[in-house]
């Protein structure tokens, strides 16, 4: 299948509203906060997620899967496969603690036409990583895997809709992704703002009593072991930004309890420099003079400000070339 067809497939299938190639879909719902009650207990969230899992059925049970979890699979079944409702069958169980509503999870899948058995494409495997998604009882990922443990593989069968024919997914729940940078800590760099972290990983930035630099300055506070962010990638990050002039916070995803998602080419030049070339799991400190920030944005309250950001890189997704 061509990449173009896969892109169209991804845009239209509800599951992929939480990541995949359509950046617009990611920006709208990819990593938005879940609808779970913030006062609910973890056990209540777990029960809700368990109850959300679609039942196993004749269609999902009719699929045979070959291949290791975390690697592209091969599914075979007699077609056309009749799918009357969403069904999900566990074909391999993971281990560890079950996922909870609100967790960020990494995943991968291969899709097939239920009508013809044709493979429609794969996403999330090595070289085609996709952004983590927040799982909840109300989204398709939660309804496919429920409260499964990382390392679980399921077969999900989707019925036809007005926009899509019936389809089969082999879905691998890979892991729970931390919501703060997890990389190896680095030594502080002299002259840079001081950064301290609270128990959740949210940073407090203290600006030194000194003149602001005139060029972009970048320091790695933690170095991760994940994929490298490339130009044009869509990234999932937590960040806090302060003004050098007074140290006041002007924006923070931590205050919203939700990581932010955007393309590296859709932010100011200094922020782009801080992201590209870094690895997932890293935490980066960047100082951005006006020339590389909002200096050209007439009337912007930050136009003349030197900005300081601490950025936790939680995921990256490379652009998909259209054939």
Whether 128 has a pLDDT exceeding 90, the answer reads no
Q: Has residue 230 been placed in a domain?
A: yes
* Nearest-angstrom CA–CA distance, 63 and 7: 25
Q: Which of 37-41, 137-141, 276-280, 289-293 has the lowest mean pLDDT?
A: 37-41
304: tokens are 């003349």
146 and 18 housed in the same domain: yes
Whether 42 has a pLDDT exceeding 60, the answer reads no
DSSP 40-78: S-HHHHHHHHHHHSPPP-HHHHT-EEES-TTS--EEE--
Q: Has residue 323 been placed in a domain?
A: no
For 43-59, b/e burial (b = at least 16 CB within 10 A) is eebbebbeebbbeebeb
* % pLDDT > 70, the chain: 84
Cβ atoms of 290 and 303 closer than 8 Å? yes
75 and 167 housed in the same domain: yes
Render pLDDT for 277-307 as a digit per residue (tens, 0 to 9).
999 999 999 999 999 999 888 888 999 999 9
288: tokens are 């951005």
In terms of Cα–Cα distance, which of 176, 309, 262, 280 is closest to 222? 280
Q: What is the mean pLDDT of the chain?
A: 86
Please tell me what DSSP assigns to residue 8.
H
Write down the pLDDT at residue 208.
Answer: 96
Cβ atoms of 322 and 4 closer than 8 Å? yes
Whether 46 has a pLDDT exceeding 70, the answer reads no
**3 state SS of 288:** strand
167 and 195 housed in the same domain: no
Locate tokens 């799991």: which residue?
Answer: 281
In terms of Cα–Cα distance, which of 237, 303, 225, 243 is closest to 275? 237
Render pLDDT for 64-121 as a digit per residue (tens, 0 to 9).
999 999 999 899 999 999 999 999 999 999 999 999 998 999 999 999 999 999 999 9
Final residue before a domain boundary, out of 157, 177, 197:
177
69 and 146 housed in the same domain: yes
pTM of the full structure = 0.81
Render pLDDT for 232-265 as a digit per residue (tens, 0 to 9).
999 999 999 999 999 999 999 999 999 999 999 9
Burial (CB count within 10 angstroms: exposed 0-12, middle 13-18, buried 19+), residue 137: buried
């Amino acid at each position: 299948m061509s990449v173009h067809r896969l892109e169209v497939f991804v845009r239209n299938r509800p599951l992929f509203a939480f990541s995949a190639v359509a950046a617009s879909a990611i920006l709208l719902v990819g990593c938005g906060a879940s609808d779970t009650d913030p006062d609910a207990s973890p056990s209540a969230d777990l029960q809700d997620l368990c109850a959300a899992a679609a039942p196993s059925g004749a269609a999902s049970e009719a699929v045979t899967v070959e291949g290791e979890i975390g690697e592209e699979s091969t599914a075979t079944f007699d077609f056309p496969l009749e799918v009357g409702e969403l069904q999900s069958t566990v074909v391999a169980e993971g281990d560890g603690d079950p996922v909870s509503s609100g967790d960020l999870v990494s995943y991968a899948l291969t899709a097939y036409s239920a009508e013809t058995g044709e493979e429609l494409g794969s996403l999330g495997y090595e070289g085609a990583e996709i952004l983590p998604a927040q799982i909840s009882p109300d989204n398709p990922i939660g309804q496919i895997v429920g409260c499964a443990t990382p390392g679980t593989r399921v077969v999900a069968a989707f019925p036809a809709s007005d926009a899509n024919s019936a389809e089969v997914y082999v879905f691998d729940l890979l892991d729970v992704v931390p919501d703060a940078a997890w990389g190896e800590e680095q030594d502080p760099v002299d002259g840079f703002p001081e950064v301290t972290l609270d128990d959740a990983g949210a940073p407090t930035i203290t600006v030194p009593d000194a003149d602001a630099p005139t060029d972009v300055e970048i320091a790695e506070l933690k170095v991760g072991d994940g994929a490298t962010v490339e130009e044009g990638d869509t990234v999932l990050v937590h960040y806090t930004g302060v003004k050098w002039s007074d140290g006041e916070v002007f924006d923070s995803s931590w205050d919203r309890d939700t990581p932010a998602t955007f393309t590296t080419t859709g932010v100011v030049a200094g922020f782009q420099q801080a992201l590209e070339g870094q690895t997932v799991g890293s935490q980066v400190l960047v100082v951005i003079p006006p020339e590389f920030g909002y200096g050209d944005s007439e009337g912007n309250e930050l136009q003349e400000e030197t900005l300081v950001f601490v950025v936790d890189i939680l995921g990256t997704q490379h652009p998909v070339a259209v054939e």
